[in-house]
């Protein structure tokens, strides 16, 4: 009986570890999208998950020098495949490179919900 419970416990812990890995991989765009060039819809889906959702474990808050907290994805962008994408929200404070004046030459990939309060521009830097 003790042997069975140990085997069951080991199997149960392995299943928990596997589920945890699947959850992390689903939230991590660089792994989730693989090495093939992602479609625009895939880029939008993954970047929007970071922009609109609560910060997942892979997207912690950063404390800026002025005391403002910002999502890491908003400051550093989101890796999708081999490309880093940034986002700007129409009705929000923005901390992406273009909004900070660090780079003024973005390649816009998509504008989601154009003309609405929820408008979001997704771009990469040339």
pLDDT digits (tens, 9 = 90+) for 40-68: 999 999 999 999 886 667 899 999 999 99
Supply the DSSP symbol for 96. Answer: S
Dihedral pair phi/psi, residue 125, rounded to 5°: -95, 135
Cβ distance 115 to 122 under 8 Å?
no
Print the domain residue range for 114. Answer: 2-125
Query: What is the rounded distance in angstroms from the CA atom of residue 39 to the CA atom of residue 47?
Result: 12
pLDDT value at 121 more than 80: yes
Q: pTM of the entire structure? A: 0.69
Buried b (16+ CB within 10 A) or exposed e, 97-121: bbeeeeeeebeebbebeeeeeeebb
Q: What is the total count of domains within the chain?
A: 1
Q: Which helix (H) or strand (E) holds 83?
A: strand 83-89
Of residues 2 and 36, the one with the higher pLDDT is 36
């Amino acid at each position: 009986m003790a042997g069975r419970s140990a085997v069951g416990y080991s199997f149960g812990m392995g299943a928990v570890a596997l589920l945890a890995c699947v959850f992390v991989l689903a939230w991590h765009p660089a792994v989730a999208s693989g090495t093939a060039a992602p479609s625009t819809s895939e880029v939008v889906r993954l970047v929007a998950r970071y922009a609109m959702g609560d910060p997942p474990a892979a997207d912690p808050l950063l404390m800026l020098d002025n005391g403002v907290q910002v999502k890491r994805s908003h400051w550093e962008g989101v890796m999708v495949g081999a490309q880093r994408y940034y986002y700007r929200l129409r009705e929000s404070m923005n901390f992406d490179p273009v909004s900070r004046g660090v780079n003024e030459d973005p390649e816009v990939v998509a504008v989601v919900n154009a003309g609405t309060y929820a408008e979001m521009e997704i771009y990469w830097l040339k």
